[in-house]
């Protein structure tokens, strides 16, 4: 007998399919021209059973959804205390691309906003690592979370670099405040390559399930993050993952989550499942409209709220 879960997922997508509100991200050419009708979902269990519906094998760039995973990698590399010394864990209440630094400490408020994500990115690898080497560390690391070899989409990266005035400004601000001594343009190029890695909704479901399983990838069985680092990542996602909508999201949906401007959203139910959705049209926070609404529906109907 067919499990009722795929039918439920088909029905859930159908209920949200006709919503055409929001708009594709416009500042990255490949995202602006992406098919806005694409719609996919994947729920992955901790033992790697994937329930999917819609365009779950369609590839899109990971964008800001890379941030929690790269944060986890850097926490493993440097230790939690050393990273907190450089990037805080407090919600900023600001948009993801604010030129934002904590006034007292002079460090980025958290690793989910771009300022913090760029500092985290710049910590990755041995001192003196080249740009190409760091991009390879990012690609290989994200592949561990997905359980398959991922690749950078150079066209997405080149398109974003052509419009990266805001991120270049943030990277220069970080350097001018002495947060790092890296070349700002290189930090942005590496961060953009990180954002341009291609995943499917199915990959994202497995990546979410890895965080739900205390850092163990359900496909490979590998411990990608230690339980303590995994907890740190989820704590930061819960409070900062949805930027200036984090409070609304946690009270209403109640699932630690992260969005990206390509239209992906993933949520983590610790000890239970990873959930991923994809739909390119975004709201004013840079979060997929249909993705967020599907999460609202799932939270209500499957009682996902962690409270
Ligand atoms: O920093 C940027 O502009 C992008 N490459 C990633 C931003 C993003 O996905 C924000 N999340 N919703």
Report the pocket of ligand 1 as residue ranges, CB < 6 Å. 63-64, 96-97, 114, 160, 167, 195, 259-261, 286-287
Residue 277 DSSP symbol: E
* 71: annotated active-site residue: no
Which residue among 96, 174, 258 is best mutated to probe the pocket of ligand 1, counting the most ligand atoms within 8 A of its Cβ?
Answer: 96
Interface predicted TM-score (ipTM):
0.98
Q: 56, 287 in Cβ contact below 8 A?
A: no
Q: 23, 17 in Cβ contact below 8 A?
A: no
Strand partners, 266: 258, 276
Written as one string, the DSSP assignment of 78-119 is H-HHHHHTTS--S---S-TT-----TTT-S-S-SSSHHHHHH
Residues 203 and 285: their CA atoms lie apart, in Å, by: 24
Residues 142 and 113: their CA atoms lie apart, in Å, by: 19
Q: Whose CA is nearest to atom 4 of ligand 1?
A: 63
Domains of the chain: 4-61+198-300 (3.40.710.10), 65-195 (3.40.710.10)
User: Residue 241, Cα to own-chain centre: how many angstroms?
Assistant: 8
pLDDT computed for residue 62 by the predictor: 98
Give the model confidence (pLDDT) of 9-61 as tens digits.
999 999 999 999 999 999 999 999 999 999 999 999 999 999 999 999 999 99
pLDDT computed for residue 2 by the predictor: 55
* 92: annotated active-site residue: no
Ligand 1 atom nearest to 196, measured from its CA = 5
Q: 59, 75 in Cβ contact below 8 A?
A: no
Reading the block at residue 63, the tokens are 């964008």
Q: Which residues of 111-148 are buried (b: 16+ CB within 10 A; e: fewer)?
A: bbbbbbbbbbbbbbbeeeeeeeebbebbbebbbbbbbe
Give the model confidence (pLDDT) of 84-124 as tens digits.
999 999 999 889 999 989 988 889 999 999 999 999 999 99
User: Residue 280, Cα to own-chain centre: how many angstroms?
Assistant: 14
Phi, psi (rounded to 5 degrees) for 197 = -75, 135
User: Residue 82, Cα to own-chain centre: how many angstroms?
Assistant: 22
Reading the block at residue 54, the tokens are 């819609």
Which residues are annotated as part of the binding site? 64, 114, 160, 167, 191, 243, 261
Look at residue 4 and tell me whether its pLDDT is greater than 80: no
Give the model confidence (pLDDT) of 67-88 as tens digits.
999 999 999 999 999 999 999 9
Q: 211, 233 in Cβ contact below 8 A?
A: yes
* 191: annotated active-site residue: yes
> Which of 266, 253, 259 is closest to 297 using CA atoms?
253
> Pick the catalytic residue: 87, 92, 243, 255?
243
Angle between helices 165-176 and 184-195 (to 10 degrees): 130
């Amino acid at each position: 007998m067919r499990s009722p879960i795929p039918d439920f997922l088909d029905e859930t997508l159908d209920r949200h399919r006709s919503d055409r509100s929001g708009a594709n991200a416009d500042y990255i050419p490949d995202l602006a021209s992406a098919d806005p009708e694409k719609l996919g979902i994947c729920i992955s269990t901790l033992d790697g059973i994937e329930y999917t519906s819609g365009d779950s094998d369609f590839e899109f760039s990971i964008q800001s959804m890379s941030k929690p995973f790269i944060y986890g990698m850097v926490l493993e590399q440097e230790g939690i205390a050393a990273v907190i010394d450089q990037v805080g864990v407090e919600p900023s209440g600001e948009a993801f691309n604010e030129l934002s630094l904590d006034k007292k400490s002079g460090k980025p408020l958290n690793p989910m906003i771009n300022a913090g994500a760029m500092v985290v990115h710049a910590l990755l690898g041995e001192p003196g690592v080249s740009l190409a080497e760091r991009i390879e560390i990012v690609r290989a690391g994200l592949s561990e979370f997905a359980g398959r070899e991922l690749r950078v989409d150079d066209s997405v990266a080149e398109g974003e670099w052509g419009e990266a005035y805001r991120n270049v400004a943030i990277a220069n601000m970080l350097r001018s405040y002495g947060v790092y001594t890296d070349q700002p343009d290189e930090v942005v190029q590496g961060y953009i390559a990180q954002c341009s890695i291609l995943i499917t909704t199915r990959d994202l479901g497995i990546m979410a399930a890895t965080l739900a399983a205390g850092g163990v990838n359900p496909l490979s069985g590998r411990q990608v993050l230690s339980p303590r680092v995994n907890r740190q990542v989820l704590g930061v996602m819960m409070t900062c993952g949805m930027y200036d909508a984090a409070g609304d999201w946690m009270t209403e949906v109640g699932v630690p989550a992260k969005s990206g401007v390509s239209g992906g959203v993933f949520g983590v139910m610790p000890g239970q499942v990873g959930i991923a959705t994809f739909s390119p049209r975004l709201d004013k926070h840079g979060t997929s409209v249909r993705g967020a609404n599907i999460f609202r529906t799932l939270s209500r109907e499957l009682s996902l709220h962690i409270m």
